[in-house]
Amino acid sequence: MSTSARVRADACPGVFATHDAADGPLARIRLPGGAISAAQFRALADAADDLGDGALHLTSRGNVQLRGVTRPGLAGRLVAAGLLPSPSHERVRNILASPLSETAQKLARELDEALCAVPELAELPGRFLFAFDGGQGDVAGEGADVCWRDGAVLLAGEDTGLRVTAGQAVETLLAVARAFLRTRGTAWRIGELADVEPLLSGIPGETTEPRRFEVNPGLPIGPIGDAIGVAPVFGRLTSAQARAIAKAGNAVVTPWRSILVLGPLAPDTGLITDPDAPSLGISACIGQPGCAKSLADVRADAARVGRAPRAHFAGCERRCGKPAREHVDVLATGDGYLVDGAYVPVGELARTLAEKGTQ
- Between 219 and 237, CB nearer to ligand SF4: 237
Stretch (H or E) spanning 105: helix 102-116
- Is 316 a binding residue for ligand SF4 by CB under 6 A? The answer is yes
- Is 291 a binding residue for ligand SF4 by CB under 6 A? The answer is yes
- Between 36 and 314, CB nearer to ligand SF4: 314
- Is 235 a binding residue for ligand SF4 by CB under 6 A? The answer is no
Q: Which of residues 25, 34, 235, 315 is near ligand SF4 by CB under 6 A?
A: 315
- Between 20 and 276, CB nearer to ligand SF4: 20
**Rounded Cα gap, residues 347 and 4, in angstroms:** 38
Region label for 185, one of left (φ > 0), alpha (ψ between -120 and 50) or beta (otherwise): left
Question: Which string of x and - marks every residue 260-289 that binds ligand SF4 (by CB under 6 A)?
Answer: -------------------------xxx--
- Is 330 a binding residue for ligand SF4 by CB under 6 A? The answer is no
Q: Which of residues 5, 181, 277, 320 is near ligand SF4 by CB under 6 A?
A: 320
Q: What angle do CA 261, 265, 270 make, to 5 degrees?
A: 100
- Is 169 a binding residue for ligand SF4 by CB under 6 A? The answer is no
- Is 294 a binding residue for ligand SF4 by CB under 6 A? The answer is yes
Pairing verdict, β 152-155 and 64-66: unpaired
Stretch (H or E) spanning 130: strand 130-133
Which residue intervals of 206-330 are DSSP H helices? 239-248, 298-303
Cβ atoms of 239 and 269 closer than 8 Å: no
Among residue numbers 146 through 165, which ones bind ligand SF4 (CB under 6 A)? Answer: none
Four-point Cα dihedral 75, 79, 82, 88, nearest 10: 80
Contact residues for ligand SF4 (CB under 6 A)? 285-287, 291, 293-294, 314-316, 318-320
